[in-house]
Structure 1
Amino acid sequence: MPFWLVAGVVAVLAGAVAVLLTRRVSSQTVEAAPHLRALRHVSLAALGGLGAALAAATWAETLAFAILAVAAAFLVVIDLAEFRLPDAIVLPTYPLFFGALALAAAVDGDWSRLGRAAAAGGVLLVSYFILAWINPAGLGLGDVKLAGLLGGFLGWFGWPQVLMGTLAAFVLAAAVSLVLLALRRVGRKSEIPFGPWMIAGAAVGAAWQPLVLG
């Protein structure tokens, strides 16, 4: 099957899964519910599915990355609307995502990648917890829990990707904050959700790190 067709199928399936989960997730939200019912997360899930197909080398990797992409699509919309990353989405994604990574490791016969992914997830989980403890107004526990998932994703590729993806999240968040301040859309003490930029940073780290750090 041509690669472009595989990528298209994965994108469609990721979007379809997001549609199927919409009613269940929207029932657990308030401000984000109208955005979810408008299916604004579906295009994000489809885009993430496309990225999953592009980043993966095997069907098992594609499955793992697509699971994370669908969860991330919901989290972006909810965090932008409600400034929170619900445990009801983040926590169930852990066994699904890491279980799929374990399957990918079995398919590849390379268990070291799974170990690195788990280690990177743990490192980011602890690091974000420390940052949240130091500055609870800047980071919440939802960000801490999401960091473990994104660390696992980046760690699957390598430690340089973990570094790049983490730095990219803070750079993107800072850049967006400065733009919003310049446009007077927010004040200096306004809250800005960090979850979407963590997810965007992880995508940047996975996609561009080899080009930047060689």
Structure 2
Amino acid sequence: MRTTAATGSRWLTSPVHVVLAFVLGGAVALLADGWTELAAFALLALACAILVVIDLAAYRLPDVIVGPMYPIFLGGLAVAALVGGDWGRLGRAVAAGAILAACYFVLAFISPAGLGLGDVKLSGLLGAFLGWLGWPELLLGSTAAFVLSAAFAIALLIARRADRHTAFPFGPWMVLGAVVGAALGPVLAG
């Protein structure tokens, strides 16, 4: 992880990624309908745990992790669709990932200092995950990332720990937003 992050940050020597992988893995185990979904979700959870720590350490989401996760995760969802006979979920996941990535790309184009291309690439994966679960999950999860990030920024401003030019990584908020969307999306839908 230290080689991938290209930094010696204390984030990389702490066990945060292990704890985060355990928590995210447990959470997705509750969501999975079968072993194929569980495998795809667990691999995404592990990647997200590593990406969160690297983003906190180096303010970037490395392509060496995000890129290979696309065929791994979407392949896992394709197997789940094949086993479950629910190709509509796969189509929705792919569409949701593409829509969210396109929205993030527009935001990154408008404000390159606000979002990086790593965020854009991760948004496609998280969008596919949330889209597999449903449209309400996608809407809530993508919105929650921005709301939680804004709340954190406001808290930092109020505490005078930051000013309006202070940068902080957005990847952890994207992952937390996806968790919120996955957990509370069914409430929004029902």
Q: TM-score range by the shorter chain?
A: over 0.9
Equivalent-residue separation in structure 1 for 2:141 and 2:14 (angstroms): 30
Q: Do 1:32 and 1:78's aligned partners in 2 also have CA atoms closer than 8 Å?
A: no
Equivalent-residue separation in structure 2 for 1:148 and 1:32 (angstroms): 28
Q: Do 1:60 and 1:100's aligned partners in 2 also have CA atoms closer than 8 Å?
A: yes
Q: Which residue of 2 aligns with 1:100?
A: 76
Shift of the alpha carbon at 1:32? 5.4
TM alignment of 1:145-160, pairs within 5 A: 145-160=121-136
Q: Quick one: structure 1 residues 32 and 106, their matched pair in 2 at CA, closer, same or farther if it must change by over 3 Å?
A: farther
How well do the aligned residues superpose, as a CA RMSD in angstroms?
A: 1.2
Q: Secondary structure at the match of 1:27?
A: helix
> Which of these residues, 167, 171, 177, is aligned with residue 195 of structure 1?
171
> Which of these residues, 95, 102, 107, is aligned with residue 119 of structure 1?
95
Higher relative contact order (CA 8 A, sep 6+): 2
TM-score (norm 2): 0.96
Q: How many residues were matched structurally?
A: 190
Q: Secondary structure at the match of 2:5?
A: coil
In structure 1, stretches of 5+ residues that fail to align are 1-24
Q: Secondary structure at the match of 1:28?
A: helix
Shift of the alpha carbon at 1:212? 3.0
* Residues 116-148 of structure 1 deviation map (CA, whole Å, 9 limit, x = unaligned): 100100001111001100011110100000000
Shift of the alpha carbon at 1:192? 1.7
Percentage of pairs with the same residue = 57
> Which of these residues, 140, 145, 150, is aligned with residue 174 of structure 1?
150
* Residues 190-214 of structure 1 deviation map (CA, whole Å, 9 limit, x = unaligned): 1121111011001100110121342
Equivalent-residue separation in structure 1 for 2:145 and 2:13 (angstroms): 28
Shift of the alpha carbon at 1:34? 4.2
Equivalent-residue separation in structure 2 for 1:170 and 1:140 (angstroms): 14
Q: Do 2:98 and 2:127's aligned partners in 1 also have CA atoms closer than 8 Å?
A: yes
